[in-house]
Chain A
Amino acid sequence: MSTIEIRKVTKMFGDFTAVKDADLKVAAGEVVCLLGPSGCGKTTTLRMIAGLERVTAGDVIIAGKNMNELSPQKRDIAMVFQFYALYPALSVGQNIAMPLHYEKLSKEEMDKRVMKVAKILHLDTVLDRLPGQVSEGEKQRVAVARAIVRDPNCFLFDEPLSRLDVELRHSMRGQIKEVLSGLSKATVIVTHDQLEALTMADRIAIMRDGLIEQVGSPHEVFAKPANVFVASFIGTPQMNLIEANFKGYGDGKAKVVFDKQEVTIGANAGVASLKPGKVTVGIRPRAFSVASRDTKDTIDAQAELIEPMGAETLIHARTITGGDIRVVVTRDKRVKVGELLHLVPDPAQTHIFDESGKAVRA
């Protein structure tokens, strides 16, 4: 079976811990994205799976076999690098054929396989050119072709789309997803682009400072962020994270004080077990509805900056005590700068995080 599993994997560079106790399982046919800001250890994790870095502690298991002591060439993997890493002196065709040389195939068989992947990735017309003579998008596809030409245990992608322009990135995302779906291999993709992760992954592992903060489906990490970091990292515009004082819970509602405004907002039943004290309330910009002036329990904020985004409008508003709130409203909702907004958060999309930053859920 083509699976990847890492167990309590740790990587130290001298005194610096790049990855700490990372656990992750990738099933056959599953695409998992390692997502996080730069320097969070996601690429190091990928390189440990590939065998390009040794693990300091823990186990890397590919296809049920412990790979800790095996060099990359013995792990039977395919990897696509951020900078493509094409062999400069070899033609596109020879680049794609490179991994096949070690399988001792006949010339005809090799040509057949190269042609097959070249057709899938629309590279059949540039096979004779050198990497320096093809476009960025083609280079990227050559890198993918070189990875899928063999039948490896698993696929690893390191920031595969980061060098492409927006339009190409969009179409390549679809192409890679399509190619991968036909292969039923375990795949790990490293990216810092949440849109890439949300669209391509079956599951996303969000990393920060060497720790995996949450693993879940794109829907889960968006709808049920495990902590403040995940909440702030996933979703654009960023989730509003408001420091507040939690007073108590009753009747499906939490009583909180934002600076001086005391409001009762809908919250999940898990909040009942929370002791009064400092909390962070997370509300997505799209989870607000703008209510009329006499509605009770609203968060009041004055519109300061209005950014039309096409279908929606992003409003930067300021609360009485100076807190920043981002609100997204539909295009037809006209708001003027300086207008006082009475905002009602959607209880299903209101997250309460305790003092340590962990989400409180039922």
Chain B
Amino acid sequence: MANSTSILEWLGFRKASGVTEAGWGHTLLVGIVSFIYFLPVLFIIFTAIKPQDLALSVPPTISPTSLFGLIPDQYVFTPTLENFGSVFSRVMTPGGSPEATGFDRFFFFFIFISSVSVLLALVIGTFAAYGFSRYPLKGNDTYLFIILTTRMLPAIVIVIPVILMFRVTGLSGSYLGITLLYTAFNLAFTIWMMKSFFDELSTDVEDAARIDGSSEAKVFLKICLPQVVAGLAATFVFGLILTWNEFLFALLLSNADTRTVPVAMNQAVSSGGRGTDWTLLASIETLFLIPVFLVTFFLQNHLLRGVTFGTVKR
């Protein structure tokens, strides 16, 4: 033990009244681990701003700046924003002139589809979750389980029946169809998430409100909802990320005009017969990252904050 203590001390840990306090060693360690986690993202962003011909160069260029001479010149590339331009407009056929790729529309509609489906699922799902939590039906657990099946089974299993359902209803290839499908998926997730948040609340506060004269609607809107704001934020972010990443259903249920960004990304990169265009892929991915990053960033306080603070002690 003595040996490990000295290593900890050597790393800069200090003991303060029995609790190990963070010193510079601790900070450094966390810094390194965080950097490793962030490395793939950094790699994609750097690739997005590399000149196209350096994408596969050996040795690889690893930094847009020499960091005051720290990195040798052969590893440094000159950043460019050209790749982002070719996301929206580029030469599609050899010898042709630049054409619009339709990515501006794909991005716009995908943001629209994702937000609408996640928000719609959040509204319906929160009501449903409150119902499941507070007014249990006979066989409540069975219903909850059935709701979960669409999320639990591998997507590949249910994709064929869903395609058939979309064919029959004529929703195939429409934005409405994809929005409805994503809402249904998110609904399962939202109901489960929100039910657990409602289950956590003390029903005493609701009973107190009833005795103080609140109607059931007021109990839900004025008493319960404000206590699960953090839960709503978390569910929104997770639902958005799930939707944002969905590929399989979008691939099979959208057509050339109604592609979602993940599908369009796949097709843009592999089209043209010139092999994979890595810088193009990286720039689409970088753009693709921004909306979810922003939402998560602005809701992080809600994600971190406790659900209730000191109101009901158990």
- Please choose the segment from B33-41, B77-85, B206-214 that sits at the chain A interface, where 4 or more of its residues have CB less than 8 A away: B206-214
Q: Mark A87-129, 1 if CB is under 8 A from B, else 0.
A: 1110000000011011000000000000000000000000000
Q: State whether the Cβ of B174 lies closer than 8 Å to any Cβ in chain A.
A: no
> Are A73 and B214 in contact, with the CB atoms below 8 A?
yes
Residues from chain B with Cβ under 8 Å of A101 in the complex: 212-213
Residues from chain A with Cβ under 8 Å of B313 in the complex: 83, 136, 163
Q: State whether the Cβ of B142 lies closer than 8 Å to any Cβ in chain A.
A: no
Q: Which of B208, B223, B227 has the most CB of A within 10 A?
A: B208
Given that A85-B205, A88-B227 are contacting pairs, would A131 and B311 also be in contact in the complex, using a CB cutoff of 8 Å? Answer: yes
> Are B208 and A85 in contact, with the CB atoms below 8 A?
yes
> Are A73 and B204 in contact, with the CB atoms below 8 A?
no
> Are A81 and B207 in contact, with the CB atoms below 8 A?
yes
Q: State whether the Cβ of B10 lies closer than 8 Å to any Cβ in chain A.
A: no
A65 to B314 Cα, complex, angstroms: 36
5 new A-B contacts at CB < 8 Å, known A72-B211, A98-B209: A50-B207, A81-B204, A82-B204, A83-B204, A133-B310
A89 to B208 Cα, complex, angstroms: 14
Instruction: Give chain A's interface residue range (CB within 8 Å of chain B).
Output: 20 to 34
Q: State whether the Cβ of A78 lies closer than 8 Å to any Cβ in chain B.
A: yes
> Are A88 and B308 in contact, with the CB atoms below 8 A?
yes
Q: State whether the Cβ of B215 lies closer than 8 Å to any Cβ in chain A.
A: yes
A58 to B75 Cα, complex, angstroms: 86
> Are B311 and A52 in contact, with the CB atoms below 8 A?
no
Q: State whether the Cβ of A132 lies closer than 8 Å to any Cβ in chain B.
A: yes
> Are B214 and A88 in contact, with the CB atoms below 8 A?
no
22 contacts between A and B (CB under 8 A): A51-B210, A52-B210, A72-B211, A73-B212, A75-B211, A78-B211, A79-B208, A81-B204, A83-B204, A83-B314, A84-B311, A85-B202, A85-B207, A85-B208, A85-B312, A86-B208, A87-B208, A88-B311, A89-B226, A102-B212, A131-B310, A131-B311
- Grouping DSSP codes into helix (H, G, I), strand (E, B) and loop, the B interface class, with mixed when no group exceeds half, is loop
A305 to B225 Cα, complex, angstroms: 57
Tell me the residues in window 193-251 of chain B with beta carbons closer than 8 Å to chain A beta carbons. 202, 204-205, 207-215, 223, 226-227
Q: State whether the Cβ of A146 lies closer than 8 Å to any Cβ in chain B.
A: yes
Q: State whether the Cβ of B309 lies closer than 8 Å to any Cβ in chain A.
A: yes
Given that A88-B309, A89-B226 are contacting pairs, would A83 and B202 also be in contact in the complex, using a CB cutoff of 8 Å? Answer: yes
Q: Mark A54-88, 1 if CB is under 8 A from B, else 0.
A: 00000000000000000111010111011111111
Given that A82-B204, A85-B205 are contacting pairs, would A98 and B312 also be in contact in the complex, using a CB cutoff of 8 Å? Answer: no
Binding site for A on B (CB under 8 A): 202, 204-205, 207-215, 223, 226-227, 308-314
Q: Closest CB-CB distance, B211 to chain A, in whole Å?
A: 5
Nearest opposing residue in chain A for B223, CB measure: A87
Q: Closest CB-CB distance, A19 to chain B, in whole Å?
A: 18
Nearest opposing residue in chain A for B311, CB measure: A88
Q: 7 closest pairs, A vs B, by CB?
A: A102-B213, A132-B310, A88-B311, A85-B204, A85-B208, A99-B212, A72-B210
A101 to B214 Cα, complex, angstroms: 9
Given that A85-B202, A131-B310 are contacting pairs, would A99 and B226 also be in contact in the complex, using a CB cutoff of 8 Å? Answer: no
Question: Which of A51, A81, A133, A136 interacts with B208 by CB under 8 Å?
Answer: A81
Residues from chain A with Cβ under 8 Å of B215 in the complex: 73
Q: Closest CB-CB distance, B49 to chain A, in whole Å?
A: 46
A85 to B308 Cα, complex, angstroms: 12
Residues from chain B with Cβ under 8 Å of A51 in the complex: 210
Residues from chain B with Cβ under 8 Å of A136 in the complex: 313
Residues from chain A with Cβ under 8 Å of B211 in the complex: 50, 52, 72-73, 75, 77-79, 99
